[in-house]
Structure 1
Amino acid sequence: MAGCRRRTWVSRAILLSVLVFQAALSLRLENTAFQDEAVHLASGHVQIAHLLNGTPVPPDYASHFSGTPLLCPVLAALVDARFGLPGARLLSLFFMLGATTLLYAMTRRLFSERPALAAAALFAVIPSTIVLGHFATCDSAAVFLLALAAWSIVRTDRAPLVAVLLAAPVAVLAVGTKYAAGLCLPTLVVLAALVAWPHRGRRSIVRAVLLVIGLAAPILAGLHFSDVLDGVGATTTAGGHGTDGARELLWKSVVWSGPMFLTACGGAIAYARRGRMNESPSVARLGVPGGVWRALLGLLLCGTALLALGYQINLANSVAFYEYLGFGLLFAASMAGVGLIRLVGEHFRFPQLACVVWVATLCVGVTTLAEWFTSWPESSRLNVALRQYVTPGAGRYLAEAPDVPAYYLRDITDRTRWTSLRSIGYQDTHGAGRHGEDGYRKALADGWFDVVVLDVVVLDGVATPRMEPVVAAAVRGSGKYRPLDTVSFGEDQGRDRIRVKR
C-alpha cells in the first residue's frame, strides 16, 4: 500500500514537472496581438457592453466568429479588462495545462501511470500545445473542454449507464466554444461504447446511444433558436475554402504532428498485439481486453488525429490548421504514450529510443509554430502613431487588418468605425450604393476615410492581396490623402504606410 502511494506521488511530481516545462515553452513566446486574438477579445467586450449597457451588437457578428461569442470571448474579455492581453493569454495557458492534466488522468485510467506520463510529456511539447498556451483565442478552451469530456467518459466506464450524460454538456460547450470541435464528437460517442464494453458488454451500446441523445438535444435546440448555424456555415464549413493543395497540407501535417502521430500508430500496433508489457507493476494483476477491442481503441484514437487533415484538405485551406491538429492529437496522445513506453521496452532496456522521439517532438514544437508566433508584424509603434490621429468617438478608418488597431485603441474608438479590405458598403453623394473595387475607389475619391493604413503584412487567410493594390492606387490617385508616417517592421516583414486626409 505504501509503495502504491509512493508511486502515485512520484507520478504527480513528474506530471508537475511536465506542466512547468509546458508553461515555460508557451510563455517564452512574445508578440503583440494577432488578428484572431483581437477579434476574439473585441467580440467579448462587445457582448459585455451589450449585456451591461444595451450597446447594439452588429447583426452579422456571429457569422464572422468560429464559436459562440457569448462563451469564451466574454470570459477572456473580462480577464483582458483587468489584466490586458498578457492576462488573456495566461487564461489560455491555464486551459492548455488543464488539458494536459486531463489527458494524463484519462490515459492513466485506460492504461497506467507510465503511458500517462509519456502521453502528457509528448502532448506538452507539440506545436499546437505550445502556441495555443499563449494565444488568446477560444481554441485552448475548446481543447480543455474536449479533454474534460473524454476524461468524464473514461472515468465513468464502470458507473451506471446514465453517468455518461455528465460528458454531454461539456462536449456541447466545446462545440459552442469552437465549432470545429464538433469533428471530435463521433470519437467521444464511440469511445463511450468502447471503454464500457469490457465491463458492460452489449449494454455499452446503450451508453453510446444515451450520449448521442445528450449531445443532440442541446445542439439541435441551439441551431433552431439561434443564429449559430449561420456562423458554422460562414466560418467553419463553407466560408473557409482556399487554394492550398493536398500535398502542401499533408506536408504541414507531417512536419507539425509527424513524430507524435507515428509514435501513436506504433503504440496502437504494439497494444493490439500485446495488451500489457510491464508498463506498471500495479496493472500486472488486471485483466487484458481482447485483441479486437485493443485494435479498435487504437484505431479510434489514432484515426481522430486524421480528421483535421481530411477536413482541411476538403476546404483546401491551411488557415488555423495547427489548431485543428491539436484537437485530434489530444486523443492520439494516449496511444503515443503507449508507443513511447513500448519503445523503452521491458525493464527500461532502450530509454534512448524514447528520448530521441521526445526530443524530436520538442524540436518540432520549438522551431516551427513557435517561430510562427513571431511571424506577424509587431504593432506597438503603429498603434502609437495611429493614436495621434484617431478622433475619439468619431472618424472613419480603413486598414487591411483593422481588428488589431481597433483592439489597442478601443478606449477612443470602436470596431464599427473601421473598414477592412474584405468588403465595403459605401453610399455616394447621390445615394447610390457602391461595393467591391468600385466602392473603395469612390470612397477614397470622396475622402470618406480619415485615416488609411496600407501594406500591413499579415498571415494567410487575413491578407487580401487582390484588393490591396486597388486601394493603394486609389489612395494615390485621389489627392485627398498625405503620407503621415512609415512604421518599419524589418526587411522581412514589410511596413505599414499611414495616410491621413488632407
Structure 2
Amino acid sequence: MSRLSPAGVPAPGLPVRPPLWRAALASFLPSTARDRADVWLARLPLAGVLLLQLLIAVRLDNTAFQDEALYIHTGHSIIDAWGGGEALYGHPEDYFSGAPTLYPLLAAVLDSVGGLTLVRLFSVLCMLSATVAVYWATNLMLGDDDRFRWTVRPGIFAALVFSLSASVLFLTNFATFDAPAFTALAWAIALGVGSVRRPHPLLWAGAAGLLCALAVLLKYSSAIDVPFVLATILVTGWRVARARALGSAVVGGLVCLAALAGSVLTWARPLLTGLGFTTTQRSSMIPQPPAHLVSQVLSWDGAPLLLILAGALVCLRRRPVLVTLLVMGTLAAPAAQIRMGEATSLHKHVVLGLVIGAPLAGAALARLWRTGGGGALAAAAIAWATFLFGASQANTMYGNWPDTTALRNELAYSIDAMPWIRMVGDTPEPVQYALQDRTQNWQWTSTYEGSFFYKDKSGVDAYRAALDDNYFQLAYLDGSQAVSAELMDEMASFGFKETSVVRTPYTDHAWHIWQRFEKLD
C-alpha cells in the first residue's frame, strides 16, 4: 500500500520516518526545531549533486562554438533590425532548428549584459533546474511505491546519473537553445506526473502542456518525446486516480497542440520552412554507418544508458507499461538520428533521451543500495565511476572545436587597418561574433557548400570569380570545407599572398590567412 493518498499527502496512520543519518543529525537540536531541520537536511543530497554538476560544468572552457556564436549574433542582428539598424542578413528561420525570435533574442540580451559567460550561465541554471525536475519526477513515478521497498528513494540516484552524464555536463555550460528546451521538457514531465496528486490537477496539466509546446518551439526535435511525456502522465497517474490521470493527459495534450497551432497560425508561420529543412525532412550531408554512431553514443554516455537498461529490468515486472514508455522515450531521439546517419548534434539528442529515462537509472542504483553491504558499496562505486567517466568525456567534448582567440586577434588587426574589408573563411561564426562590434554582417562570407552565389555562378566557381574580381580582400582558410580545400592551392593566382598562419593552442589546427596584393598574369 502506498504511503501517499491520491492527493499526494501522507496517508493517516503511516508516518514517514527519516533516514538514520537525518535523525541522528536532527537529534542534536531542540525537539521543537527537529521537524524543520529535517526538511532542510532532506535537501542536502540533492544540493550536493547540483553543486557537483555546477563545479564540473563551469570548469569547461573554450571560445564560442559555431552554434553558440551563430545564435547570439543572430539575436543581436534581429534586435538591430527591429531598431532600424542594419537589415537582417539572410533568413535564419529557414535554417534554424528552433525559433530565431525565442532563444537567440534572450541570448543576445544576456550577451549585452555579461558576454558569453552570462549566456552560458543561463544554460547552467537551466540544466541544474532540469536535474531538480528529474529528481522530483523520479520520486513521483517510483519513489512512493512500497513494493520496491526503497531505503533511499530513487530520485537522488536518478539526479546523480543524469547530472553527471557527459552530454548533460556538456550542455550545462553550452549556450544554445538545447538547455532551455530540454529543461522545459523535464519540468513538463515533473508537473504532469505530479498534477494527479495535487489540487487543481488540470491547471498543473495545462502548465505541463505549455512547457511541452515551449520545448518544441525552442528546439523542434523535442517534439519526438512529447507523446512519451503525455503517455507517462497517464500511466503514472492511472495507479493513483484514473479519472484525474486521463484528464491531465488529455488537457496537457490539448494545451500543447493549441499553443503550437496558435503559434503556427500567427507569429511562427515562417518557421515551417526551417522545421522541414532541419528536422522533418532533414537528411545527412555526410552519412555515417549506424554502428559507428552507436559506438559514439556509448563512448559518451554508455554508463547512464546501461544503468537505464538495468533499471528497466528491475522495474519491468511491476511496472511494464511505464518501463516500456520510458525506454522508448530514451531511445527515440538518438535512434531517429542514428537511422538517418547524422552525427551532428547526436550527443544533444542523447540528453533528450536521458530526460525521459533517468528515473530507471535511479531505480537500478536504489535497488542495489537496498541490498546493503556489498550492494551499497557497488552502488557507490558505480556512481563514482559515472562521475569520473562523465567529467572526463565532457572535457573532451568541450575541446572538440578550435580556440579562435588567436584568429580573432589576427583578423582584428586587419579590420582596424581596413575597416570595410570583405572576408571569406571557414566557419566564420565564432570570429564574426567576437568582432561584431567592429564589423557588419555583409563583410563576412562562409565557405559552406551552396551558401555563396556570384555572377550566376555557384560552388567553388563562384568563389574563384569573386576572388579574381577583388570582391574579397582577405581569406582565412583551414581546409575544413571542400571549397576551401580546393582554393588553398590557388590563392596566389588571384593576387593573394599568405601573410600568416594562425595555430590553436595544444592542437595542430591552423588557419592560413591570405590578403590581396596584386594579381599574377
Task: Return the TM-score normalized by structure 1.
Answer: 0.89
Residue 412 of structure 1 corresponds to 438
CA contact (8 A) 1:376 1:493 kept: no
1:255 to 2:281 alignment:
no
* Residue 355 of structure 1, CA deviation: 2.0
Q: Which amino acid aligns with 1:394?
A: W
Partner of 2:149: none
SS of match in other structure, 2:316: helix
What one-letter code is carried by the residue in structure 2 that aligns with 1:243? P
CA deviation after TM superposition for structure 1 residue 85, in Å: 1.1
Q: Given that residues 329 and 357 in structure 2 are in contact (C-alpha distance below 8 angstroms), is that contact kept between their aligned partners in structure 1? A: yes
Match in the other structure for 1:11: 42
TM-fit CA distance, 1:3:
5.1
Name the SS for the 1:390 alignment partner. helix
* 362-371 or 47-56, larger mean C-alpha shift: 47-56
1:66 counterpart letter in structure 2? S
Could you tell me which of 488, 491, 506 is aligned with 1:472?
A: 488
Alignment-derived partner of residue 228 in structure 1: 271
Q: Distance in 2 between matches of 1:224 and 1:206?
A: 26
> Structure 1, residues 191-231: CA drift from partner, whole Å, max 9, x if none?
12112211332663443233222121222333344211111
Residue of 428, 439, 445 corresponding to 1:402: 428
- The Cα offsets for residues 32-76 of structure 1, whole Å up to 9 and x where unpaired, read as 111111111112112222333364223521122111111112112
Name 1:162's counterpart in structure 2.
Answer: 202
Measure the CA separation in 2 of the matches of 1:424 and 1:316.
23
Aligned to 2:349, the other structure's residue is in SS state helix
> Paired residue for 2:117?
86
Of residues 86, 92, 106, the one that matches 1:75 is: 106
The answer as to 2:159 corresponding to 1:144 is no
Identity %: 27
Equivalences, count? 471
Q: For the residues of structure 2 that align with 1:161 and 1:243, how far apart are their CA atoms?
A: 46
Aligned pairs (5 A) from 1:327-476: 327-347=352-372, 350-390=375-415, 394-422=420-448, 423-427=450-454, 432-455=455-478, 463-464=480-481, 466-476=482-492
Equivalent pair of 1:401/1:420 in contact (CA under 8 Å): yes
SS state of the match for residue 475, structure 2?
Answer: strand
Residue identity matched to 2:357: A
Q: Does structure 2 conserve the Cα–Cα contact (< 8 Å) formed by 1:11 and 1:117?
A: no
CA distance in 1 between partners of 2:443 and 2:278 (Å)? 23
The root-mean-square deviation of aligned C-alpha atoms, in Å, is 2.1
* Deviation, structure 1 residue 7: 4.9
**Cα distance between partner residues in 1 of 2:50 and 2:201:** 33
Say which is worse superposed, 193-202 or 77-86, in terms of deviation: 193-202
* Counterpart residue number, 1:126: 165
How many angstroms apart in 2 are the aligned matches of 1:394 and 1:199? 67
Equivalent residues of 2:166, 2:393 under 8 A apart: yes
User: 1:104 aligns to what?
Assistant: 135
**Counterpart Cα distance in 2 of 1:74 and 1:441:** 36
- Give the Cα–Cα distance (whole angstroms) in 2 for the partners of residues 101 and 381 of structure 1: 39
Does the CA contact (< 8 Å) of 2:64 and 2:116 recur in 1? yes
Instruction: Using the TM superposition, name which of 199-208 and 152-161 deviates more.
Output: 199-208
Indicate the SS of the match to 2:134: helix
2-side partners of 1:341 and 1:59: how far apart?
52
Task: Output one character per residue of 1:64-102: Cα deviation in whole Å (capped at 9) or x when no partner.
Answer: 211111111211211111111111111111111111111
Amino acid at match of 1:444: L
Uncovered stretches (5+) of structure 1, i.e. residues with no partner? 274-290, 457-462
- Give the direction of change, closer, same or farther, for the CA distance of 1:92–1:493 in structure 2 (3 Å limit): farther
* CA distance in 1 between partners of 2:453 and 2:186 (Å): 46
Which of the numbers 176, 200, 214 marks the counterpart of 2:241?
Answer: 200
- Which residue of structure 2 aligns with residue 64 of structure 1? 95
In the superposition, relative to structure 1, how do residues 56 and 202 fare at CA in structure 2: closer, same or farther (>3 Å)?
same
Greater mean deviation of Cα atoms: 251-260 or 328-337? 251-260
1:435 CA drift (Å): 1.2
Match of 1:178 in 2: 219
Opposite residue 93 of structure 2, the aligned amino acid is A
Paired AA for residue 102 in structure 1: A
Relative to 1, partners in 2 of residues 1:491 and 1:188: Cα closer, same or farther, differing over 3 Å? closer
Structure 1 match to 2:79:
48
Q: Distance in 2 between matches of 1:335 and 1:223?
A: 35
Structure 1 range deviating more: 382-391 or 416-425: 416-425
2:324 pairs, out of 296, 299, 321, with 299
Contact 1:222/1:228 (8 A) holds in 2? no
Please give the alpha-carbon distance, in whole angstroms, between the structure 2 residues aligned to 1:181 and 1:26.
Answer: 23
Note the alpha carbon deviations across 1:297-323, whole angstroms, 9 max, x for none: 112112211112211123211111111
For residue 29 of structure 1, report the CA deviation from its aligned partner: 0.9
| Aligned 8 A contact 2:53 2:163 in 1 | yes
Task: Name the CA distance, whole Å, in 1 between partners of 2:453 and 2:167.
Answer: 40
Q: Deviations over 1:333-366 (max 9, x none)?
A: 1111111011123445511211232123223212
Secondary structure of the residue that 1:498 maps to in structure 2?
strand
1:264 is the counterpart of 2:305: no
Letter in 2 for 1:261: L
Q: Distance in 1 between matches of 2:263 and 2:256?
A: 11
- What amino acid maps onto 1:414 in structure 2? Q
Distance (whole Å) between structure 2 residues aligned to residue 239 and residue 78 of structure 1: 30
Secondary structure in structure 2 of the residue aligned to 1:473: coil
2:146 is matched with none
Match of 2:4 in 1: none
Matched residue SS, 2:403 = coil
* Runs of at least 5 residues in structure 2 that lack an aligned partner in the other structure: 1-14, 19-34, 144-151
Q: 1:269 to 1:2 in 2, by over 3 A?
A: closer
- Where does residue 174 of structure 2 map in the other structure? 135
Equivalent position amino acid for 2:138 in 1: T
TM-score norm. by structure 2 comes to: 0.85
What amino acid is aligned across from residue 25 of structure 1 in structure 2? I
Is contact 2:98–2:218 with CA below 8 Å preserved after alignment?
yes
